[in-house]
Amino acid sequence: MAFDIEMIKEVYARIPGRIAAARKVVGKPLTLTEKILYAHLTEGAASQAFKRGTSYVDFQPDRVAMQDATAQMALLQFMQAGRSQVAVPSTVHCDHLIQAEIGADQDLSKAKDKNKEVYDFLASVSNKYGIGFWKPGAGIIHQVVLENYAFPGGMMIGTDSHTPNAGGLGMIAIGVGGADACDVMAGLPWELKFPKLIGVKLTGKMSGWTSAKDVILKVAGILTVKGGTGAIVEYFGEGARSLSATGKGTICNMGAEIGATTSIFGYDEKSAAYLSGTGRSDIAALADGIAEHLTGDAEVYANPEQYFDQVIEINLSELEPHVNGPFTPDLAWPISKFAAAVRENGWPAKLDVGLIGSCTNSSYEDISRAASLAQQAVDKKLVAKSEYTITPGSEQVRFTVARDGFLDTFDKMGGVVLANACGPCIGQWARHGAEKQEKNSIITSFNRNFAKRADGNPNTHAFVASPEIVTALAIAGDLTFNPLTDTLTNSEGNQVRLDEPRGLELPTKGFAVEDAGYQAPAEDGSTVQVLVSPTSDRLQLLDSFAAWEGVDLKGMKLLIKAKGKCTTDHISMAGPWLKYRGHLDNISNNMLIGAVNAYNDATNSVKNQLTGGYGEVPATQRAYKAAGIGSIVVGDENYGEGSSREHAAMEPRFLGVRAILVKSFARIHETNLKKQGMLALTFANPADYDLIQENDVIDINGLTTFAPGKPLEVVFHHADGTSHTVVANHTYNEGQIEWFKAGSALNLIKAAKA
């Protein structure tokens, strides 16, 4: 990790000067968020003030983290960039592909067998390019990052939506798609819309049953699942300083559920204690040296309304434990009102399973507080009525809580310890009987509770709460139990009450681990072979996309005119297709299968102009490709909204679609298309969408003089011999036009290196 400490020293050397310069440019006191963002602008951008919510800005992140499902395509693309090493410290974490079924050991060994080729690929490609590799069983990406890599004042991007977890240690940490990760690893800047700022002032101090999770459950109730969109949420105040670093991580983690770009806390004594407790007192000492820059200015926190776009205040002394759900994380219920809500809404009161852990809530503090309740259950002769599972977030936490006896305590209560992985949180849960689709209730300390997420059963009512509340309700087996006021009947027929949970923020004997599951990369990876079997159906090395042929595009077919909403899920579905995330040819068989064809209102049924019959979208496109004929896709408004997955741009490119012409784009998808060398065009007149006919043959003119701000011309030749010529706008700048000409941004990066 010497690489890391040197990198952190460089960042800290830069921060004071950058912040002083930003102060001059902005001309007013700065929030913590602004300080860190300004400290990470590229040289060219550093001297400008940016308009929140509208300006697109280039940043230089310090780190990249990738989980195993998304790392595959990110690294396959990186291999195309022609670099011998990653430009910034990067890590891969094998956590998403382990299915929970029986218990940690069996599940882990089954996953290693089933996903062997993916793990071998990720291990070898990491080894070759200087990337740290965390093996299956090492833990969940965000917990491992918090324990090892997050640092105050840093900026990280991660190929997972809960990357903001690292905000608990004062880092700007943002979830992105694999193409963005690839760019940053190749040394390119990373673009982000300068975010709006939401300030959350925490006053008072928590006690009793309330925990950090309840802060974010309350915030989710206030802001809803969309309220944080385009914003960074900054927490401050005496209440913030009273929270443990891991508790802060929980709050930042679940900020993804309000749509926030990320969330952040300032550096304080709790951050220093956590850094020291996890073997990083050198970083704490460095942070102490620039502590004034690792928090917002005093004027900002004294009058937050003047500096944030929105301010929320929460008094921790009055905050009740919350239970959120079902089916959405923003349906927030204080525990005192929850039982009535269960009865009024007819939700199943019998609780089938309580699940604690995940990247959101698996710190030593979380586990020790939950274990204090499990111990009470044993001592007070209570038999847990629900099934109960524990997912440790990392091997370091698992080993330490095992050493300190907590796992034995859970065992006595009938709990089952699952592998240090995502498991049920991402639907990797072989829950017996789920296929019967019976109405039932579960409660978890995870972050998301959308229908079907945990077990695939749409009738599972999933609720989210703190590990303490999950444990208490699992002991009761009843969602209407309020541990703050109610009693339970024990095995001797006596009424007993659960006392308030107790725990420790950090282990008194320190953290311990025998094998953390880390593989350091080779010093010199030049001779390392990347392992991809040519017969694999899950992995496929990428070939470079062909460069533009230098002439206008003529005689293309219309593949589909998509009607209405067409998100990246419609373009490249998830679910069973996740398996093929590392195999572009195979995953391309899902291309646009969810899009509605405007001519027949059907999905995955388009006219094949070569045969005159109707066929599936990928098969039809493959027929055009085999015949050497290009095609175009026409779409409606906000085409490509949703997840930033690059597959939605790579699949059409791979199968020979040349242009996407729509009424409007979701911006990230538009950029992804440009990066892959596609033409992303919009109708100058959206009504021209109606002129296109099912059997059209299409030309795109003006490419030989393709220039920023200069529209292109698209000609639709109809089957009856008539034609329409329409104007197509675009947003390509000079550099992006070069991407198009080179065939992809990666081709250009590679060429520049050569």
Q: Do you know the residue count of the chain?
A: 754
Angle among Cα 609, 610, 611 to the nearest 5 degrees reads 95
Q: Which amino acid is at 421?
A: A
What is the distance of C-alpha 228 from the center of its chain?
A: 15
Instruction: With CA atoms as reference, report the closest residue to 139 among 92, 89, 88.
Output: 92
Q: Which of 162, 196, 385, 730 binds ligand SF4 (CB under 6 A)?
A: 162
Dihedrals phi, psi of 427, to nearest 5 degrees: 80, 5
Report, in Å, the least distance between residue 426 CB and ligand SF4. 4
Q: Judged by CB, which is closer to ligand SF4: 396, or 447? A: 447
What are the angstrom distances between the C-alpha of 607 and each of 476, 557, 570, 599?
A: 58, 10, 18, 9
Q: Judged by CB, which is closer to ligand SF4: 422, or 748? A: 422
Q: Which of 126, 368, 588, 643 is catalytic?
A: 643
Q: Which of 18, 93, 96, 461 is catalytic?
A: 96
Report, in Å, the least distance between residue 93 CB and ligand SF4. 9
Question: Would you call 241 a catalytic residue per the annotation?
Answer: no
Q: Judged by CB, which is closer to ligand SF4: 160, or 297? A: 160
645 binds ligand SF4 (CB under 6 A): no
| Residues 80-109, interacting with ligand SF4 (CB under 6 A) | 95
Q: Which of 4, 62, 107, 160 is catalytic?
A: 160
Report, in Å, the least distance between residue 322 CB and ligand SF4. 18
Q: Judged by CB, which is closer to ligand SF4: 98, or 668? A: 98
Q: Judged by CB, which is closer to ligand SF4: 426, or 742? A: 426
Q: Quote the crossing angle between the two packed helices 745-753 and 667-675, to the nearest 10°.
A: 50
Task: Indicate if the alpha-carbon torsion angle 634, 640, 646, 647 is positive or negative.
Answer: negative
Question: Would you call 214 a catalytic residue per the annotation?
Answer: no
Instruction: With CA atoms as reference, report the closest residue to 360 among 472, 262, 255, 254.
Output: 254
661 binds ligand SF4 (CB under 6 A): no
Task: Indicate if the alpha-carbon torsion angle 188, 190, 191, 197 is positive or negative.
Answer: negative
Alpha-carbon distance of 527 to 117, in angstroms, equals 20
Question: Would you call 581 a catalytic residue per the annotation?
Answer: no
Question: Would you call 448 a catalytic residue per the annotation?
Answer: yes
What are the angstrom distances between the C-alpha of 162 and each of 412, 422, 453, 699?
A: 32, 12, 15, 43
Query: Could you give the string, one character per residue 399-438, with x where binding to ligand SF4 holds by CB under 6 A and - elsewhere?
Result: -----------------------x--xx------------
Residues with Cβ within 8 Å of residue 450, at least 6 apart in sequence = 327, 328
Q: Judged by CB, which is closer to ligand SF4: 353, or 562? A: 353
The DSSP result for 489-513, as a single string, is: E-TTS-EE-PPPP---SS-TT----
What is the distance of C-alpha 387 from the center of its chain?
A: 29
Report, in Å, the least distance between residue 283 CB and ligand SF4. 24
Cβ–Cβ under 8 Å, residues 193 and 174: no
Report, in Å, the least distance between residue 436 CB and ligand SF4. 25
Helical spans, DSSP H, in 58-210: 68-78, 104-114, 116-129, 141-148, 178-185
| Residues 133-152, interacting with ligand SF4 (CB under 6 A) | 140-142
Report, in Å, the least distance between residue 395 CB and ligand SF4. 15
Query: Could you give the string, one character per residue 481-520, with x where binding to ligand SF4 holds by CB under 6 A and - elsewhere?
Result: ----------------------------------------
DSSP 112: H
Query: Could you give the string, one character per residue 435-464, with x where binding to ligand SF4 holds by CB under 6 A and - elsewhere?
Result: -----------xx-----------------
213 binds ligand SF4 (CB under 6 A): no
Q: How many residues bind ligand SF4 (CB under 6 A)?
A: 13
DSSP 588: G
Report, in Å, the least distance between residue 256 CB and ligand SF4. 8
Alpha-carbon distance of 263 to 243, in angstroms, equals 15
The DSSP result for 137-165, as a single string, is: TSB-HHHHHHHHT--TT-EEEESSTTGGG
Report, in Å, the least distance between residue 640 CB and ligand SF4. 23
Q: Which amino acid is at 188?
A: L
Report, in Å, the least distance between residue 419 CB and ligand SF4. 11
Hunting for tokens 């990280």 — which residue is that? 156
Report, in Å, the least distance between residue 142 CB and ligand SF4. 6
What is the distance of C-alpha 271 from the center of its chain?
A: 23
Alpha-carbon distance of 211 to 413, in angstroms, equals 22
| Residues 344-403, interacting with ligand SF4 (CB under 6 A) | 358-359
Q: Judged by CB, which is closer to ligand SF4: 31, or 253? A: 253
Question: Would you call 645 a catalytic residue per the annotation?
Answer: yes
Alpha-carbon distance of 39 to 37, in angstroms, equals 5
Q: Which of 4, 147, 160, 180 binds ligand SF4 (CB under 6 A)?
A: 160
Alpha-carbon distance of 683 to 416, in angstroms, equals 57
The Cβ-side half-sphere exposure at 74, using a 13 Å CA radius, reads 33
Q: Judged by CB, which is closer to ligand SF4: 206, or 422? A: 422
Q: Residue-wise over 467-476: b if at least 16 C-beta within 10 A, else e?
A: bbbbbbbbbb
Q: Judged by CB, which is closer to ligand SF4: 22, or 422? A: 422
Report, in Å, the least distance between residue 211 CB and ligand SF4. 18
Q: Which of 280, 448, 658, 717 is catalytic?
A: 448
265 sits in which H/E element: strand 262-265
262 binds ligand SF4 (CB under 6 A): no
Report, in Å, the least distance between residue 422 CB and ligand SF4. 3
Q: Judged by CB, which is closer to ligand SF4: 244, or 445? A: 445
Residues belonging to the active site: 95-96, 160, 448, 643, 645
Question: Which residues would be at the binding site for ligand SF4 (CB under 6 A)?
Answer: 95, 140-142, 160, 162, 358-359, 422, 425-426, 446-447
